[in-house]
Amino acid sequence: MNLDIETTVKTLFFMLLVAGAALLLVALRAFREASRLRFFLKRRALLGRAWQFIFFSLIIVVLAFVINSYAEPVTYKIFQPSPTITQTPTITLTPTITQTPTVTNTATVTPTLEFTVTPQMPVVISQDFTSQVTPNPNAVFSSLSFSRRLTGEYQPIDPAISFANPVEKIFASFSYNNMSVGTQWTALWFRDGELVYYESKPWNGASGGYGYSDCVIPAENWLPGNYEVQMFVGETWKVTGRFSITGEPPTPTVTPSLTPTFTLTPTLSPTVTRTATITPTGTKTLQPSATLPPTATSTRTNTAAPSATSTKTPQPSQTSAPTKTTAPTDTPVPSQTPTPSRTPTVSLTPSATIIPTATRRSTIYR
């Protein structure tokens, strides 16, 4: 084994350190055994050997550091080192791949918005604010998570950014902090830029925690499109969330309702027509004739009862010679106004009662 001076010195140094550590362990074991002995003389002899082991270990450690520091220079003074040929490393050229030049794309100008559009609270909604508490400017909201259901701690169940019809309710859940009780807060729900739902009321929760806003509209009103939810504290915008609805909403069903229709049909009362007949003896006889028009009745229709008419009997006048007198006419009495009723109609067929008129004969004595 060929060892140079430097390697020999380092090897000797580590071997001395190991020997010193071994003696130190032996000394410690001797101290432990001495503490267990009851006989004084034996214990004192064992303690003496233990201190000797410690002393020798210290000498070996000191000797190791001395050899490590001074052995190599002293050896070089006694034994001159022979020159050794140092090999010069040769550089081996490694072929490199020359890259084919590629066409560099011309940079395009990306338009940058000069102004950022911040959502604004509509004046129509802000006019209906009921809170008198000044909002805390340090109030913060997290990003919105959208889902169909929430847990008891207002955590979203299966959150998503796209929902398929049919949809009945969508929750927008969030976490918040630094909120003041009684502060007016508002959630605006838009579909393709059009306001479809909103809620605005004083804050009744804690200063920090989890909350939500829900949009409940009929299923047929959840039209497909892009939806956006904007959260405000007072009139200050806090956060915006977006989701989409796909598929056609269900068609609303119309439930027909029965509406009774009442038709009132008046029944005409009979009209009595009187005709006068002149006999050769000069007696005028009145013969009543009744003309009854047909009565049109329908379901749920009341007809008025025929009105009672009086019969007038004219008194014959006594003249020297019979004269032809025109037939008297009676003025018909108007029938009573029919009263509508919602009870089933019983159609009454009026019958005219013909009252015979007594005929008097005038006698002329010549």
Can you give the three-state secondary structure of 336-359, one letter per residue? CCCCCCCCCCCCCCCCCCCCCCCC
Q: Which residue has the tokens 């003696």?
A: 23
- Out of 187, 220, 246, pick the residue that ends a domain: 246
> Does the residue 237 lie in any domain?
yes
pLDDT at 275: 45
Q: Tell me the C-alpha distance between 347 and 305, whole Å.
A: 9
Two tokens at 341? 């009723």
Residue 245 confidence class, pLDDT cut points 50, 70, 90 = very high
User: Residue 230 pLDDT more than 70?
Assistant: yes
- Out of 59, 78, 97, pick the residue that ends a domain: 78
| C-alpha torsion sign, points 251, 252, 258, 261 | negative
DSSP conformational letter for 116: P
Residue ranges of E strands in the chain:
140-141, 145-147, 149-150, 156-157, 162-164, 169-177, 184-191, 194-202, 209-216, 225-233, 236-246, 271-278, 284-291
Which CATH number goes with the domain that contains 157?
2.60.40.2550
Contacts of 180 (CB under 8 A, 6+ apart): 133, 134, 135, 136, 139, 203, 207
Two tokens at 124? 């129509």
Q: Are residues 154 and 226 in the same domain?
A: yes
Q: Which of 136-140, 159-163, 165-169, 302-306 has the lowest mean pLDDT?
A: 302-306
Over range 160-189, report the average pLDDT. 93
- Out of 246, 265, 289, pick the residue that ends a domain: 246
**Contact status, residue 50 vs residue 37, Cβ threshold 8 Å:** no
> Does the residue 346 lie in any domain?
no
Q: Are residues 172 and 70 in the same domain?
A: no
Q: What share of the chain is helix, strand, coil (3-state, %, to 5)?
A: 20, 20, 55
Contacts of 65 (CB under 8 A, 6+ apart): 13
Q: Write out pLDDT tens, residues 300-354.
A: 434 343 444 434 444 444 434 444 444 444 444 444 444 444 544 444 444 444 4
Half-sphere exposure of 234 (CA within 13 A, CB side): 14
Q: Are residues 127 and 234 in the same domain?
A: yes
Q: Are residues 239 and 144 in the same domain?
A: yes
> Does the residue 267 lie in any domain?
no
Which domain covers residue 49, as residue numbers? 5-78
Q: Write out pLDDT tens, residues 30-65.
A: 888 888 888 888 888 888 988 998 899 899 999 888
Higher pLDDT, 232 or 105: 232
Q: Are residues 72 and 146 in the same domain?
A: no
Q: Return the number of other C-beta atoms located less than 10 Å from residue 39's C-beta.
A: 9
Q: Which of 35-39, 54-58, 141-145, 270-274 has the lowest mean pLDDT?
A: 270-274
**Contact status, residue 178 vs residue 208, Cβ threshold 8 Å:** yes
Residue 85 confidence class, pLDDT cut points 50, 70, 90 = low
Residue 147 CA from chain centroid, whole number: 8
> Does the residue 41 lie in any domain?
yes
How many domains does the chain fold into? 2
Residue 194 confidence class, pLDDT cut points 50, 70, 90 = very high
